[in-house]
Amino acid sequence: MRPATGYAVYALQYGRRAGVRGEHFLGWDATSGERHDTAYYAWLVLSRDRTILVDSGIDPGAEPPLSGWEYRTSVPALLDSLGIADVDTLVLTHLHYDHAGGMRSFPTARVVVTAAELDYWNSPDAARNRREAWLVDKADLLYLADHRGITGDTEIAPGVSVHPVGGHTAGMQVVRVDTGYTTVVLASDASHFAENLDTDTPGNILHSMPGVYRAFDRVRELAGEGLIVPGHDPGVMERFPSVAEHVVRIA
């Protein structure tokens, strides 16, 4: 799985949940009641000597707040199936439970999260906002209580950088990987589905509407002619070649 040079990028699908379009695209229309499933991912970036995990999935010991799951496993289980024993860097694109809940499974990893994300979720404003509060586990905030977040575009390994974009959450960040032959932008929830970005349509769960549009623009800028990988699109598993059960190679 490790490339001889550069980086290999994988998507690990740890769950899938049935839903409808109205959950995912802002504004109600005649198609909003049509079925539209949600896939749940973490992403793995490998070089000869680096193991970078982007997001950690749901806490393996917790019951998720939403129903309708068709299947669910855990990110650690998928890593085990690939023979990945240690993660040196864990990037948390944001702190929603389905992206950050599994962080305690990687106690030795360097955690990369934005200061804006930490500041917001520990603020009185977040505690009062019932529209968003259910999405974050207080245990995750306690785990990161002494953590210092990043405050701008940051290279976390040669050719791998993180970029705060906001929008979906106060401190949402995306990951850009120069694999050696192409550019991959792991958009995570800056664009839940390819359709969000393609049609310039925000999702229903957002912190800032103007921020979502700015994030769309920034993701496009960072990708250039490269690949953009959305955060919850089931089509990722069809678009890229399978290397193991629930795992595809993006680049």
Torsion of CA 93, 45, 185, 162, to 10 degrees: 50
Nearest in space to 48 (alpha carbons), one of 81, 109, 7: 7
In terms of Cα–Cα distance, which of 199, 202, 203, 193 is closest to 239? 193
Burial grade of 159 (CB within 10 A; 0-12, 13-18, 19 or more) = middle
Could you read off the pLDDT tens digit of each residue along the chain, which spans 251 residues?
A: 899 999 999 999 999 999 999 888 888 788 888 899 999 999 999 999 999 999 999 999 888 888 888 889 999 999 999 999 999 999 999 999 999 999 999 999 999 999 999 999 999 999 898 888 899 999 999 999 999 999 999 999 999 999 999 999 999 999 999 999 999 999 999 999 999 999 999 999 999 999 999 999 999 999 999 999 999 999 999 999 999 999 999 99
CA gap 140, 102 in Å, rounded: 9
CA distance 80 to 77: 5
Residue 76 gets which letter from DSSP? H
The residues pairing with 185 across neighbouring beta strands, listed in sequence order, are 176, 228
Q: CB-based contacts of 249: which residues, under 8 Å, 6+ apart? A: 8, 9, 10, 240, 241, 243
On whether the CB atoms of residues 22 and 240 are closer than 8 A, the answer is: no
Sequence ranges of the domains in the chain: 8-249
**CATH for 8-249, options being 3.30.160.270, 3.10.580.10, 3.60.15.10, 3.30.300.30:** 3.60.15.10
pTM comes to 0.97
Burial class (CB in 10 A: 0-12, 13-18, 19+), 39: buried
Mention every residue, 6+ apart, whose C-beta is less than 8 A from residue 212: 167, 168, 190, 202, 203, 206
- Nearest Cα to Cα of residue 91 among 211, 209, 227, 188: 188
Contacts of 87 (CB under 8 A, 6+ apart): 51, 52, 53, 79, 106, 108, 109
